């Protein structure tokens, strides 16, 4: 006789998770074995479950009700850092998770072991479903951004009044986690005007933790045609989309979302190729190419992943530097595995992971150095990405950072391209210092434009095909707009 599943199911946590649970910081957990709805003690999406934080003696320290959002069965070897967002501290990278599971289950955990990733939402945090983009804005889940260039002017009245004043036919909505001077609305709205399309691009800010609600609203809202997943959302949206392009899945990040006529949401990534095109142009000035070039990439997450994948696919030798070396190593493994799918001869030595402290040595033979981290922006705007950062900012910390960064730049060859994808109102400190030393620099605008061209072609594929629109036509409209808002060199 088949054993019945317990209803409702329970998710147990150890006492060290108590603070994170009470602060609603834990939204995912990994369990050893097959724990989906078909198995005893399994979990099913949309099912109610009780969370319990218990001592070894069985005493409840904390309990609450949650709603299961997603259940994914996989092997330990396939677990990625992006799969562990929202997991308890010390379980948020694959290596640490493997050690924790070994202690919990008192046995060695091997790569072939089956594990189940369970994602949930606290019932106290759940809201009534928001059916449209307007509902999300009216409820305060999303806000129309103020800083992006080319952002449509917000009229007074409700969110519905504002969006209808912008366009009654529909629009694209890029998502970002915080305000910054983004170029996306400027570029897309220039293309809409150039092609005579009745659409609008309007950027919004929101909390990535609310992404399930936001994407459900996008599925239900025919006004939403697609858009972008920007800062804070590139990895957060990945597991909540209906389909994801294989390249974006391998990268672990999405920057383009397309809504189909049936309401399904598809994810793609054009960030990496956008940067690769712009770097190829910068290297060509001195007769070089990405193929065979040595590129140091600072950062192993979001846009950094996409850039590293694209450069590797074009034949670059990569040196990936990250504050957390394990993330750089994990990215290096994913890149090697993916590229070998089409190039079996790909060498392990083509992608090397290292700590940020190794920058002095790595830049010496680099053809390009690219910053993909958030250093040089927000509260770190006074710092260079090439030096250590101490927060809160202080005159001493900033001076030490600048001195260290100059030492790193001094070790570069005269033709090393120094690139920074951070977008700000002025050139970043990293680029300012490189320019004073006579090194060629590349800011984030060319990448933004090139990736936007390909993103436009994906979201508006039916229009592009019906009208026979070529890539250079889109590029012309977007580059004219971008040049009107170039970051000034300082």
Is 413 inside a domain boundary? Answer: yes
pLDDT value for 31: 93
| 22-35 confidence digits (pLDDT tens) | 888 899 999 999 98
435 and 290, same structural domain? yes
Q: Is 259 left (phi over 0), alpha (psi -120 to 50) or beta?
A: beta
Q: Based on the structure, what is the number of domains in the chain?
A: 3
Q: What mean pLDDT do residues 271-296 have?
A: 94
For residue 438, count other CB atoms closer than 10 A to its CB: 8
Given 250, 269, 288, which residue is the final one in a domain? Answer: 269
Confidence of residue 46 (pLDDT cuts 50, 70, 90): confident
Average pLDDT, the chain: 88
| Residue 89 or 115, more confident | 115
The answer to whether residues 258 and 283 belong to one domain is no
Please indicate, yes or no, if residue 214 is contained in any of the structural domains.
yes
87/130 Cα distance (integer angstroms): 26
What are the tens digits of pLDDT across the range 56-78?
A: 887 878 888 888 999 999 999 99
Lowest-confidence segment of 152-161, 162-171, 382-391, 418-427 by average pLDDT: 152-161
Strands (DSSP E) contained in 141-293 are 142-144, 171-172, 175-176, 200-201, 204-206, 224-228, 243-244, 256-259, 265-268
Do 101 and 157 fall into the same domain? no
Is 375 one of the annotated active-site residues of the chain?
no
Whether residues 151 and 117 fall in one domain: no
* Lowest-pLDDT choice from 154-168, 293-307, 424-438: 154-168
Quick one: pLDDT at residue 293? 95
Cross-strand bridge partners of residue 119: 28, 70
Say if residue 418 is in the same domain as residue 285.
yes
* Domain co-membership, 258 together with 321: no
Domain of 81: which CATH number? Answer: 3.10.400.10
Same-domain status, 287 and 433: yes
Residue 40 has pLDDT above 80, yes or no: no
Q: Are residues 323 and 239 in the same domain?
A: no
- Does the pLDDT at position 1 exceed 50? no
For residue 127, pLDDT beyond 90: no
Q: Residues 174, 176, 182, CA angle at the centre, nearest 5°?
A: 75
CA separation, residue 151 to residues 115, 169, 371, 408 (Å): 45, 17, 26, 38
Q: How confident is the model at residue 378 (pLDDT cuts 50, 70, 90)?
A: confident
Least-confidence region, from 173-177, 250-254, 409-413, 485-489: 485-489
Who's near 128: CB < 8 A, 6+ residues apart?
A: none
The predicted pLDDT at position 129 comes to 58
User: Would you give the distance in Å from CA 98 to the centre of its chain?
Assistant: 24
Q: Among residues 77, 106, 125, which one ends one of the domains?
A: 125
Please give the span between the terminal C-alpha atoms of the chain, in angstroms, as a whole number.
76
CA dist., res. 361 & res. 366, Å (int): 10
For residues 205 and 224, state if they share a domain.
yes
Q: Which residues of 103-125 are buried (b: 16+ CB within 10 A; e: fewer)?
A: eeeeeebeeebebbbbbbbeeee
Within a domain: 297? yes
Confidence band for 4, pLDDT divided at 50, 70 and 90:
very low
* Those residues with Cβ within 8 angstroms of residue 214's Cβ, 6 or more apart along the chain or in another chain: 130, 136, 141, 142, 175, 206
4 part of a folded domain: no
Beta bridge partners of 73: 116
Tell me which residue has tokens 């806000």: 143
Q: Can you point out the beta strands (E) in 331-414?
A: 351-355, 368-371
Could you tell me if 141 and 263 lie in one domain?
yes
* Domain extent at residue 331: 272-444
Tell me, yes or no, whether 420 lies in a domain.
Answer: yes
Q: Which of 46, 89, 234, 375 is catalytic?
A: 234
Of the three residues 245, 269, 293, the one that is the final residue of a domain is 269
Range 431-447 average pLDDT: 94
Give yes or no for residue 148 having a pLDDT over 60: yes
Residue 88 domain-assigned (yes or no) = yes
pLDDT band at 310 (very low <50, low <70, confident <90, very high): very high
CATH code for the domain of 277:
3.40.50.720
What pLDDT score does 3 carry? 38
Residue 167's pLDDT band, with cuts at 50, 70 and 90, is: low
Least confident of 18-32, 160-174, 403-417, 468-482: 160-174
Residue 103 counted as domain residue = yes
Query: In this structure, are 215 and 148 located in the same domain?
Result: yes
Residue 376 has pLDDT above 70, yes or no: yes
In a domain, 195, yes or no: yes
CATH of residue 145's domain is: 3.40.50.10860
Query: Is 149 in the same domain as 259?
Result: yes
């Amino acid at each position: 006789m088949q054993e019945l599943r317990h209803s409702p199911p329970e998710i147990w946590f150890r006492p060290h998770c108590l603070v994170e649970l009470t602060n609603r910081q834990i939204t995912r957990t990994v369990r050893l074995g097959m724990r989906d709805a078909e198995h005893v003690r399994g979990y099913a999406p949309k099912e109610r479950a009780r969370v319990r934080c218990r001592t070894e003696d069985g005493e409840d320290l904390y309990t609450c009700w949650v709603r299961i959002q997603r259940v994914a069965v996989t092997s330990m070897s396939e677990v990625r850092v992006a799969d562990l967002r929202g997991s308890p501290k010390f379980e948020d990278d694959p290596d640490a998770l493997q050690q924790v599971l070994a202690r919990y289950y008192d046995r060695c955990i091997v790569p072939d072991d089956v594990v189940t990733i369970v994602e949930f939402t606290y019932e106290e945090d759940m809201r009534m479903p928001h059916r449209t983009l307007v509902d999300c804005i009216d409820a305060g889940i999303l806000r129309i951004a103020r800083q992006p260039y080319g952002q449509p002017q917000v009229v007074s009245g409700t969110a519905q009044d504002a969006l209808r004043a912008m366009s009654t036919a529909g629009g694209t909505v890029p998502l970002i986690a915080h305000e910054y001077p983004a170029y996306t609305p400027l570029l897309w709205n220039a293309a809409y005007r150039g092609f005579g399309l009745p659409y609008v691009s309007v950027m919004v800010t929101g909390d990535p933790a609310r992404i399930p609600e936001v994407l459900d609203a996008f599925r239900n809202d025919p006004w939403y045609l697609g858009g972008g997943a920007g800062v804070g959302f590139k990895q957060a949206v990945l597991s909540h989309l209906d389909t994801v392009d294989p390249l974006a899945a391998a990268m672990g990040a999405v920057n383009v979302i397309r809504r189909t006529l049936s309401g399904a949401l598809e994810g793609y990534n054009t960030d990496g190729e956008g940067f690769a095109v712009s770097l190829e142009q910068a290297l060509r000035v001195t007769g070089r190419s990405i193929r065979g070039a040595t590129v140091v990439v600072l950062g192993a997450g979001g846009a950094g992943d996409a850039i590293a994948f694209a450069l590797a696919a074009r034949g670059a030798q990569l040196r990936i530097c990250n504050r957390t070396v394990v993330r750089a190593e994990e990215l290096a493994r994913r890149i090697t595995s993916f590229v070998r799918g089409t190039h079996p001869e790909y060498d392990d030595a083509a992608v090397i992971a290292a700590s940020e402290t190794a920058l002095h040595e790595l830049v010496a033979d680099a053809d390009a150095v690219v910053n993909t981290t958030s250093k040089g922006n927000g509260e770190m705007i006074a710092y260079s990405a090439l030096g250590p950062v101490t927060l809160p900012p202080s005159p001493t910390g900033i001076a030490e950072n600048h001195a260290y960064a100059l030492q790193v730049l001094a070790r570069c060859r005269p033709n090393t391209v120094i690139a920074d994808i951070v977008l700000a109102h002025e050139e970043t400190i990293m680029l300012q210092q490189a320019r004073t030393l006579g090194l060629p620099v590349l800011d984030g605008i060319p990448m933004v434009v090139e990736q936007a061209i390909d993103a436009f072609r994906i979201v508006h594929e039916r229009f592009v095909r019906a009208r026979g629109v070529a890539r250079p036509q889109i590029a012309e409209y977007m580059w004219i707009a971008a040049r009107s808002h170039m970051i000034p060199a300082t």
